Amino acid sequence: MQLFARSSRDVALTPAGEQLARDAPRLLAASQAAVRNARRAGKGDRSLKVGFMLGADLDPALRAFAQLHPDTEIEMKRIRWWNQGEALLEGGIDVSFVRLPIATEGLELVLLYTEPLVVALSHDHPLAAEGAVSVADLADEPVLVYADASPAWNAVWTIDPRPDGSHPRHGPIVRDMEEIVEYVRAHRGVIFLPSAIGEAFPRPDIVYVPVADVPPGQIALAWNPTHPSRLVGDFVELAKAAMSGRSSV
């Protein structure tokens, strides 16, 4: 099979070469997943890789799992809004706490609990002293946009469209909490966050004000069913039981 067509002046891909170039990323990801699965099989029941997003309540599930499987090593891996699904599909994580929305193709998902939303404001913002605000109160504020996020993610987390059908004015793009804090304190934009993230990042110059008229965020547990594992099954069931007393969707 010829992949390159050579002339005296240049080298170009043949149709077969172009197809291979298109398929290469998928094939590479599949091969990497196969290697990880083989290594995992070699470890048997001695290792479970658990993904998490900042602010997710992991402790009840982790404690319950450790009691049932005291000899299993739990490896914690931080994930972000832009790689929640990929980390599971590529095999780098066995099971993960994720925030919705997430592309569900190829994944199994169970909803665990909801979390109230807050808006991050500079401490000297006119609304900073309010006990709660509405989306309408923030109509004129630019909203920070999550970098590399899916359209569905940014629609939910920028509240677009608003309850009245309008669309928010987009502010700067952010990649992590540190950038969020700097833009908010400089009055460059506001952002909607789960309340748990505000609790994890207390700052004297940032205020997290509850938003009264938006749906709560949703935390789910996700895993790849093509990588069957007794440990994953146990972790899912234990997480569901451990979270049963929290607010539900």
Residues 101 and 155 in one domain: no
DSSP-derived secondary structure letter, 72: P
Residues 108 and 227 in one domain: yes
pLDDT at res. 8: 61
pLDDT at res. 18: 66
CB contact at 8 A, 83 and 99: no
Residues 86 and 170 in one domain: no
Q: What is the pTM of this model?
A: 0.79
The mean pLDDT value for 29-36 works out to: 47
Question: Would you place residue 30 in the very low, low, confident or very high pLDDT band (cuts 50, 70, 90)?
Answer: very low
Per-residue pLDDT for 44 more than 90?
no
The mean pLDDT value for 142-167 works out to: 96
Strands 108-115 and 217-223: antiparallel
Inside any domain, residue 89: yes
Domain that holds residue 159: 117-215
Using alpha carbons, list the distances in angstroms from residue 102 to 88, 141, 157, 240. 12, 26, 12, 19
Residues 23 and 75 in one domain: yes
Inside any domain, residue 247: no
Core vs surface per residue 98-121: b (16+ CB within 10 A) or e: bbbbbeeeebeeeebbbbbbbbbb
Which CATH number fits the domain that encloses residue 45? 3.40.190.10
Inside any domain, residue 4: no
The mean pLDDT value for 177-183 works out to: 96
Question: Would you place residue 3 in the very low, low, confident or very high pLDDT band (cuts 50, 70, 90)?
Answer: low
CB contact at 8 A, 49 and 92: yes
pLDDT at res. 34: 45
Q: How do residues 188-234 score in pLDDT, each as one tens digit?
A: 999 999 999 999 999 999 999 999 999 999 999 999 999 889 999 99
Residues 105 and 224 in one domain: yes
SS3 242: helix
pLDDT at res. 27: 43
Residues 17 and 110 in one domain: yes
From the number of C-beta atoms within 10 Å of its C-beta (0-12, 13-18, 19+), residue 159 rates as buried
Per-residue pLDDT for 17 more than 90?
no
| Number of domains making up the chain | 2
Per-residue pLDDT for 84 more than 70?
yes
Question: Would you place residue 37 in the very low, low, confident or very high pLDDT band (cuts 50, 70, 90)?
Answer: very low
CB contact at 8 A, 14 and 21: no
